[in-house]
Amino acid sequence: MEKRKLGTQGLEVSALGLGCMGLSFAYGTAVDKQHGIKIIREAYEQGINFFDTAEAYGIENEELVGEASAPFRKEVVIATKFGFKDGRAFNGQDSRPENIRAVAEESLRRLKTDVIDLFYQHRVDQNVPIEDVAGTVKDLIQEGKVKYFGLSEAGAATIRKANAVLPVSALQSEYSIWWREPELEVLPVLEELGIGFVPFSPLGRGFLTGAITESTSFEATDFRNNLPRFSEENRKANQKLVDLLSAIASQKQATPAQIALGWLLAQKPWIAPIPGTTKSNRLTENIGGASINLSAEDVKKIDDAFAQTAIQGDRYPSHIQQTTGK
C-alpha cells in the first residue's frame, strides 16, 4: 500500500490505517479477543501499518492492539490518546501534565511497548493551556517515551498555539463526504503548517457503506442510537447520499465505501483515513479503497452531486455536542 507522510518530523504511515475503537468500544458488544487479534493481523498482512487506539476506548482496546501487533511491532505505527478524566470518554477533559504522564505510562504498559509512536490529545481541555500540553509531550519525546505529537478535534487557533511549542505531526478529526466542517478553517491551517490529517469515521460511522438503512436495528449499547443523524427518520432522508455513492461506484466498478475512501485520499496527499471494522470482508473492501484513483473531474462530480443534497441530523446530540473547538 502507498505510504503517506504526516507532518514534517518524519512520520510515515500507510495511506489507510485501522481504527481499532469499534473492536471493543461504542458499537455494541466487543468482539472476541482472538477475533480482534485476527482483524488487526489481517490488516497488517494486507498492507496497513497504522493502528489507532486510545485510553478512552477501554483498557482492553490498548491491550488488544499491543498483543496483536507484538510480532511486527517495529514495523507499525501505533497511535493512542490521552485527555479524559479517569480515561472515560464522557467524564470531561483532563490534560493536566501529571495526567498526561500517568496515561503515557499506562499506555506503554498496555501496548507492551517502550515507545508510543503518535500521542494525541483526545479533546482540547479548556482548563489547561495547550502550551502546557505540548510542553509535557515534548518532555516525553525527549525522554524517548513518545515519537510524535498529535491533536484531535482541535480548532485552528489551538493547532497554531500547540505547533509553536512542539511541531504537531497529525490532527485527527471526523471528516467524510457527509461531515466536511474541517474544510472551513482546519485544512488550510494544516497545509500551511505542514501537519498531516487523519480522518476518523471516514465512512460516516458505517452509513456510507450502504449496509445501514432506515430499518437497521442497532444493539442497545451501540452509541449510534443516540446520534441524531442516525434516527430512523434521518437515515431514511440520508439514504439518497448512499444512492449517489452507489451510482458513482457502479461506474468505477467499486463499492460505495471504496469511493468514499478514494474521495478522502484524493483531497490531499497528507491525509490518511482510519476506517474501522470488525469483519474481514469489510477490511479487505476498505483496503481496496486505497487503490481507487479519482481524477479532479471525478472529485468535482462527486462534490457537485453532494452539494445538491442536504444532510439531515446533527453529528452529536445537543447535550454532548462536540465541535472542532477554537
**Alpha-carbon distance 314 to 190, whole Å?**
25
E strand residue ranges, the chain: 3-6, 11-14, 18-19, 50-52, 77-82, 116-121, 146-152, 168-174, 196-200
Residue with cell 506503554: 108
Minimal CA–CA distance to 80: which of 96, 100, 187? Answer: 100
316 in active site: no
- Count of Cβ atoms closer than 10 Å to residue 131 Cβ: 13
For 229, phi then psi, to 5°, come to -65, -15
Region of 18 (left: φ > 0; alpha: ψ -120 to 50; beta: rest) is beta
Helix (H) or strand (E) holding 288: helix 280-288
Identify whether the C-beta of residue 57 lies closer than 8 Å to the C-beta of residue 83: no
Identify whether the C-beta of residue 207 lies closer than 8 Å to the C-beta of residue 238: yes
Pairing assessment for the beta strands 50-52 and 11-14 based on DSSP bridges: unpaired
Residue with cell 507492551: 112
Region of 32 (left: φ > 0; alpha: ψ -120 to 50; beta: rest) is beta
Of 27, 57, 120, 175, the active-site residue reads 57
What grid cell was written down for 53?
Answer: 487506539
Give the residue numbers annotated as catalytic, written as ranges: 57
